Amino acid sequence: MSETRTAAELDQEAAVRRALEDYYRDGKPPWDSGVTPPELVALMEGPDALTPGHVLELGCGTGTNAVYLARHGWRVAAIDLIDRAVRQAREKADAAGVDVTVLCGDATRLDEVGVPGPYDLFFDLSCYCGIPPHRRDDYAAGLTKRAAPGARLLMFGYGPEAFGDPISGVTADELSTRFAGWQLVDVTPGTNPVPTFWFTLRRTAAACDGGMGCSSHG
Ligand SMILES: C[S@@+](CC[C@H](N)C(=O)[O-])C[C@H]1O[C@@H](n2cnc3c(N)ncnc32)[C@H](O)[C@@H]1O
């Protein structure tokens, strides 16, 4: 994980951040439906519902799903890069009367934000697919370090074809390669008119590797 970045990489990160800030400054961003996706509802309320534990949401936006998870008994931490989104997520959690730790920071720099662990579940609803490629190894490393044994990552992402630029999108092959010590256990196409996918990964490494997943929650 090197922090030596080229000017082009820094430009890419700044451009992504500016675009996101513009979305939130201009009002309600197009993705902010306020509706929890059925794929997450199934994981929480379906026949094989998970036992509540610790969850970290990456790119939580205005907090709809962080609040939903807290209402379903999970201890929730949620992170977003954009402070306007974070403020709205905190307000939403307060209004709902649930306890959610909403952090403002970069999901690819979790050490800098002081995000504790371990987590039993990571949830990412179209955050990773917009992260510039040179930051994605650090995203994966941050989750791996904080994964409880057998932890699960549920991720929704747009395929590269859905974007008009060369740096965005996510594929099953990419996740399989990048997430060492994890197994891609399910890929379900989304219902959007452009290619989208629900990915489920499980942390497979059994032995303690010294990461936060080996110790009790901080
Ligand atoms: C497409 S939006 C989805 C927001 C939310 N998950 C939802 O569905 O309403 C992607 C979110 O990820 C956040 N994001 C993008 N890159 C991020 C990063 N590196 N670290 C943390 N959040 C990030 C954005 O600010 C934005 O809120």
Domain boundaries, given as residue ranges, for the chain:
29-202
The count of other CB atoms within 10 Å of the CB of residue 151 is: 25
Which residues, listed in sequence order, are joined to residue 75 by a DSSP beta bridge?
A: 54
Specify the pLDDT at position 1.
Answer: 47
Specify the pLDDT at position 116.
Answer: 83
Determine if ligand 1 sits within 6 Å of the CB of residue 59. yes
Specify the pLDDT at position 213.
Answer: 63
Specify the pLDDT at position 218.
Answer: 41
Whole-model pTM: value is 0.94
Q: For residue 101, give the amino acid letter.
A: T
Check: CB of residue 130 under 8 Å from CB of residue 42: no
Q: Which residues of the chain have pLDDT under 50?
A: 1-2, 216, 218
**Cα→Cα distances 204→28, 188, 207, Å:** 38, 20, 9
Q: For residue 1, give the amino acid letter.
A: M
In 3-state terms the chain splits into helix, strand, coil percentages (rounded to 5) of 40, 25, 40
Q: How far apart are CA 67 and CA 24, in angstroms?
A: 19
Find where tokens 């929650």 sit.
217
Specify the pLDDT at position 215.
Answer: 60
CA of 206 to the centre of ligand 1 (A): 30
Q: Which protein residue's CA is at the shortest distance from atom 17 of ligand 1?
A: 81
CA of 125 to the centre of ligand 1 (A): 8
CA of 82 to the centre of ligand 1 (A): 8
**Cα→Cα distances 115→56, 128, 165, Å:** 9, 17, 31
Which of 9, 12, 16, 20 is the best mutation target for the ligand 1 pocket, counting ligand atoms within 8 Å of the beta carbon and taking the most? 20
Q: What angle do CA 69, 70, 74 make, to 5 degrees?
A: 80
Specify the pLDDT at position 132.
Answer: 94
Superfamily for the 29-202 domain: Vaccinia Virus protein VP39 (3.40.50.150)
Residue 4's H or E segment, with its range, is: none
Determine if ligand 1 sits within 6 Å of the CB of residue 63. no
Q: What b/e string do you get for 113-142 counting C-beta neighbours within 10 Å, with b at 16 or more?
A: eebebbbbbbbbbbbbbbbbebbbebbbbb
